Amino acid sequence: MKAGKYVGPKLVQVAEIEKPIIAEGEALLKVSYGGICGTDMMIYAGQHPRAQSSLTMGHEFSGVIEEIKGMSSFKKGDRVVVEPTISCGECRPCQSGNSHVCESLKLIGIDVDGGFSEYAKVPINRLHKVPDELPLNLAALTEPVAVAVHSVRRSTLKVGESVAILGAGPIGLLIGLIAQLNGAKDIYVSDISPFRLGIAEQMGFRAIHAKETNVVDEIRARNNNEFIDVVFEVAGSQQTVDQMIPLIKTQGQIVVVSVFKNKPALSLADMHFRELSITTTRCYTSDDFRTAVELMASAKVDFSTLISHEFHIDDIDKGFSVMKNTEESLKVLITKQVKGDLNEFIFARRKSGSSHRSNSWHWSCLGLGIS
């Protein structure tokens, strides 16, 4: 079979390898779609501390069960999406029901071979059924949607409150969609990419160009000179760390979603005098993942807006090259369903304005736990 292998820094190649052989408790998936994310780009750059050369990358993927071994409600032919976290089940977090912060947490596609391949083997307990109404290319977005669900659930966001999201990558925009669905009245999104800010505006958010204006002053001016209720940091830079505290209201909450490559400087004194709280997030729970599947299948939000490109697995190197350029990409999918890429169709849709647009705000009927 074909697999997209991380060979070394800035080098991903398609290799012919043996189809995986599954053991008891595992399923063999015929992979449909896999998404390239920020962690994959870190591996690609040679900066991930755990990923090793010759790894089959890809932890955001959907497919169809080809073979299964073991007692399960799943069967051959089921459409599924993979929850890629692998926990030990023995440490204190796992024993207390918090396996997503397992002390030795591993991920499919990072620590073991993943879904940038024609077939992948996955533990049965990492599978979620994909409802018939959810296309498999959208199902491949479940993992980042689950990250967004978990991030909003970790926040104190209440109906009618304001939100600032520092970073308009896929996770930042997804957090905006989940916050919007759960009652955020005004959502401000900052970034340095005009392309991504354009998509943010299509989604109904208030876009702030971080290179052309002072982010803090601009957001506060647009917010009637009021501070923001909840700030999500999703860019992982010192610049956005410096913007968090001046933006937030007294006794407000900052939610840090990014994984920082370097230690940022943070003024605890400024936080101290205004009783600010800071919350961090890691991955998602299985309940977050199930909620993400249900939300996507409900069609309450058009998540297809995030897909900027789809490349055949033969062209996976092109997919990574495109993903590097934030002026033309958002979420790149790898597939063997088509030969070549679908960029012409996707950009035509983008230019026609057929993407989801919403200036209204709603509260959730899916029980995301926001009050």
pLDDT tens across the length of the chain (371 residues): 999 999 999 999 999 999 999 999 999 999 999 999 999 999 999 999 999 999 999 999 999 999 999 999 999 999 999 999 999 999 999 999 999 999 999 999 999 999 999 999 999 999 999 999 999 999 999 999 999 999 999 999 999 999 999 999 999 999 999 999 999 999 999 999 999 999 999 999 999 999 999 999 999 999 999 999 999 999 999 999 999 999 999 999 999 999 988 899 999 999 999 999 999 999 999 999 999 999 999 988 889 999 999 999 999 999 999 999 999 999 999 998 755 444 433 443 444 444 433 333 333 333 444 33
**Residue partners of 211: CB distance under 8 A and separation at least 6:** 192
Which CATH number do you get for residue 103?
A: 3.90.180.10
- For residue 351, being part of any structural domain is answered with no
How many helices (H) and strands (E) the chain has is answered by: 12, 18
**Residue whose entry in the numeric block shows the structure tokens 């069609």:** 299
Q: Which long-range contacts (CB under 8 A, 24 or more apart) does 337-343 make?
A: 337/32, 337/33, 337/137, 338/310, 338/312, 339/312, 339/314, 340/311, 340/312, 340/315, 341/309, 341/310, 341/311, 341/312, 341/315, 342/309, 342/310, 343/308, 343/309, 343/310
As given in the structure block, the two tokens for residue 289 are 């993942």
What is the SS3 assignment for 151? helix
Total domain count for the chain? 2
Residues 249, 129, single domain; the answer is no
- For residue 130, being part of any structural domain is answered with yes
Instruction: Tell how strand 119-123 and strand 277-280 pair up.
Output: unpaired
Residues 244, 172, single domain; the answer is yes
Residues 180, 227, single domain; the answer is yes
Residues 123, 18, single domain; the answer is yes
- For residue 109, being part of any structural domain is answered with yes
As given in the structure block, the two tokens for residue 23 are 């053991």
Rounded Cα distance between 169 and 176, Å, is 11
Residues 181, 272, single domain; the answer is yes
pLDDT of 347: 40
Rounded Cα distance between 241 and 237, Å, is 6
Residue 29 · residue 65 · CB < 8 Å: yes
**Residue whose entry in the numeric block shows the structure tokens 């890691």:** 282
Residues 218, 318, single domain; the answer is no
Residues 166, 56, single domain; the answer is no
Range of the domain at 226: 148-280
Residue type, 31: V
The helix (H) or strand (E) run that includes residue 61 is: strand 60-68
pLDDT of 337: 73
- For residue 217, being part of any structural domain is answered with yes
Which of 284, 271, 166, 148 shows the shortest CA–CA distance to 215?
166
Tell me 70's DSSP state.
S
Which CATH number do you get for residue 240?
A: 3.40.50.720
pLDDT of 352: 41
- For residue 286, being part of any structural domain is answered with no
